Structure 1
């Protein structure tokens, strides 16, 4: 691949790009994407991997988002597959190049000497990472070669405790920092084999993930919560269950959202006969602005579980581990900015050697303090140096001065009405008559959508439970459109709220009859 990447770099050079020019990459799980990405490293061009997805709002909404990214990144071109190029058409202001054409044209070139190229140095950029997309305004951070080295070293040595025989498996997309850094770049850095599956293939059949890990004796994998849930559900529903051997899986990383202890135990129980070890679970925490990871649990130790006590409920919560060497975490009061004690919930602030302190367009600076900590946007607490995440601060619904966490409402609904399904319910705050109130967005099947009697009964059940736990009357809204997710598989509540308020979410039943 090294020779091919250098040839592709020379082909890109002939396109007339200048050093440090930025190129938007449609991050597809293909060899061509890898060749182009590493070609940029040899030539001194800055890749900006993004997703091609058409969610709520359709193609026009995606083009609007893409044009924002073009403006923010000041990219000179887009590189994509022919199919994506056809879909984008003439809707963007910069040229679109085709992966396969660049790679094919490069094959006729002689192997270039390194002196013909201009590889990045340690303090130069590596690529631009955009946030996972919980809103339609993703923010980009420029990650340096040194940031990558620092964070990958910490993850491999202290987080995963990499071994010579380790082989990893990844289905996370390369526009996501865990897919790109945690697997692709970390595998190159650690000189270990990584097997990759596209996220689309995983969603179509999650059992492929388990079957291939069994076949290749995978030691390390990572997935958001929903990935483990999908695989377990598909296995339970399968009439001809595959024979699996997961005994070699020593690191089953998990993160990206609140982690249910019950889900961990259910997954471990489901695959215990296949050799899966509960202690393989490795909960962790990170964000785009820290390059990748901030905390990780202890390898070969069971996840640490505590009970989260909020104003509304008590629920078990899984620790995301302790800060990696060089990183620090503190919890502060959002109003007074004073440091809080153990088990007091507040804003999560972090600092460390691979922190990014500004976004590429400088329009929304990363919030930081005098000590070098940055604000993550998350809420949580510390206990025995373990970090526990309670939710995103922007997802807090404030009703008559009371803070109600969307995640608490959703968790309670799923515990009582599990048939709703994960990522199919979103609690949001809406303004009605100059007053904040709660709305519950629920994705339902096409079949149930025609049965208004059942919808009414379900809406009543949701309202009764919401009154019981939060003391408020919620407006329940059903839609047959899937609720939007971020690239890491988390529920994108802000995007769901925006889609509803802008009229881009077709409501088929409203508990208050406003249809």
Structure 2
């Protein structure tokens, strides 16, 4: 087939459809390809845009190779005979760097499952691990939760997960309870919860920043919630503790990389003090594409404020949430995932079906997507959740029950709280306009 002008399809003369036959017909050219140097740009990785619009992260050859080396040698600690399995999309850093570039760089075998196929039949992921004896596979928490929710006895009869050596978790806040439920469900098919390996990373560092210790599973730190919310300190529960928050150990910084927790004045703080997670190291991006200020700042300081909040304990990182997602009410910091967790305890509500945020008027909004159609049950659910939130946090929340698939998400599946808030504010403003028109 010859070169086809796509203008016949969409009136865009700049687009063309190219065929294999057209490429094969091209004459050979005597061209010497230039080898890239370490500081050449390897690619632009666009962020998922969970709190703002996506931005192009500039990653050089040196930066991505430094991360690949750290992931394979110090993070996952790849061994001869390891085999990777992945359903993660290649447009996301975990899929691109973790399960395309890392296997290529280390000459590992990798089995791929289409992301769409995983979404429709999540147990295909575990069946592929079992069948091909995969040893390394990583997913966001919702991937594990989806498998645990969809599995049946017939599926379990086909599985043997004794081969799974590293079950990595990352890309979004990690729920220890959710992972515990997965481990209990698949224990009978030889899944070992010690294979869980929580990690922390972001596109701005190519991918990985830290990995938890090998064969330790999910290690949690329980803290007094009131002290955390009012004082910003992760203090162990005591005799007078009213409520507890739990955070997952995401490991220590990879070798040659650094993690510091800093306050609003950009000064490092002590352990157990919550602050801005700042990172440095050979994998750190060169800046954002088209943003010279970010490029100059990283070149000058070698550090990046990730936009995440967390604390260090014995050198290990505990991530508490995104700065822009934090709900601040009368000087008190409330983590949205704590409110969302209350909703997710209801039998009709699945993990990821709730999203919480605060408006400019300091009104807490909890939106829940569900299939509950019975008006009486909807009323009971709203009343019960409002009462429990008031009891747990001493605040009032407006609860909206939405149709399925209403919660906005980023390209990597994270809840897009900024977009949810934007939609709510737009709908709220429209309703006020209607009321004023009718008055």
The TM-score with structure 2 as length reference comes to 0.86
Tell me the residue number matched to 1:294.
Answer: 209
* 1:488 aligned counterpart, secondary structure: coil
CA spacing shift, 1:202–1:104, aligned 2, 3 Å: farther
CA distances 1:65-100 after superposition (whole Å, capped 9, x unpaired)? xxxxxxxxxxxxxxxxx9xx97xx46xx883454xx
- Map residues 390-409 of structure 1 onto 2, 5 A cutoff: 390-409=320-339
In 2, Cα distance between equivalents of 1:314 and 1:386: 20
**Unaligned stretches of 5+ residues in structure 2:** 230-242, 432-439
Query: Relative to 1, partners in 2 of residues 1:97 and 1:232: Cα closer, same or farther, differing over 3 Å?
Result: farther
Partner of residue 478, structure 1: 401
Alignment check: 8 A CA contact 2:287 2:298 kept: no
* Cα RMSD after superposing both structures: 2.8
Gaps of 5+ in 1: 1-10, 16-81, 508-515
Relative to 1, partners in 2 of residues 1:240 and 1:391: Cα closer, same or farther, differing over 3 Å? closer
Alignment deviations for residues 394-453 of structure 1 (CA, whole Å, 9 cap, x no partner): 0112223322221221123324x253111111111113xxx32111111121xx24x222
> Would you say 1:224 and 2:140 are equivalent positions?
yes
Please report how far the alpha carbon of residue 240 of structure 1 lies from its aligned counterpart in structure 2 after TM superposition. Answer: 5.3
Deviates more, 1:192-201 or 1:135-144: 135-144
TM normalised by structure 1 equals 0.74
User: What are the within-5 Å matches in structure 2 for residues 236-275 of structure 1?
Assistant: 236=152, 241-275=156-190
Residue in 1 that maps onto 2:14: 95
Q: In 2, Cα distance between the equivalents of 1:247 and 1:258?
A: 26
Report the counterpart of residue 51 of structure 1 in structure 2: none
2:389 corresponds to: 466
Matched, 1:410 2:340: yes
3-state DSSP class of the match of 1:248? Answer: coil
Q: Deviations over 1:479-502 (max 9, x none)?
A: 114312223322111122122223
Tell me which residue corresponds to 2:73: 157
1:211–1:242 CA contact under 8 A, matched in 2 = no
TM-superposed CA distance for 1:315, in Å, is 2.6
Q: Offset of 1:109 from its aligned partner?
A: 4.7
Tell me by how many angstroms 1:474 deviates: 1.1
Is 1:315–2:245 an aligned residue pair?
yes
Give the aligned partner of residue 261 of structure 2: 331
User: C-alpha displacement at 1:477, in angstroms?
Assistant: 1.2
Q: CA deviation at 1:172?
A: 0.6
TM superposition shift of 1:262: 2.1
CA distance in 2, matches of 1:321, 1:199: 28
SS in 2 for 1:282: strand
State the alpha-carbon separation in 2 of the partners of residues 385 and 94 from structure 1. 56
| Alignment size in residue pairs | 411
How much has 1:296 moved relative to structure 2?
0.4
Structure 2 residue 411 is matched with structure 1 residue 494: no
Name the SS for the 2:389 alignment partner. helix
In the alignment, is residue 144 of structure 1 matched against residue 60 of structure 2? yes
Report the Cα distance in structure 2 between the residues aligned to 1:183 and 1:209, rounded to whole angstroms: 14
Change (3 A) 1:135 1:304: closer
Aligned mates of 1:357, 1:118 — CA distance in 2: 22
SS at match of 1:419: coil
Q: 2:369 aligns with which of 443, 448, 454?
A: 443
Q: CA deviation at 1:116?
A: 4.5
Per the alignment, in what secondary structure is the counterpart of residue 362 of structure 2? strand
Which residue does 1:233 correspond to in 2? 149
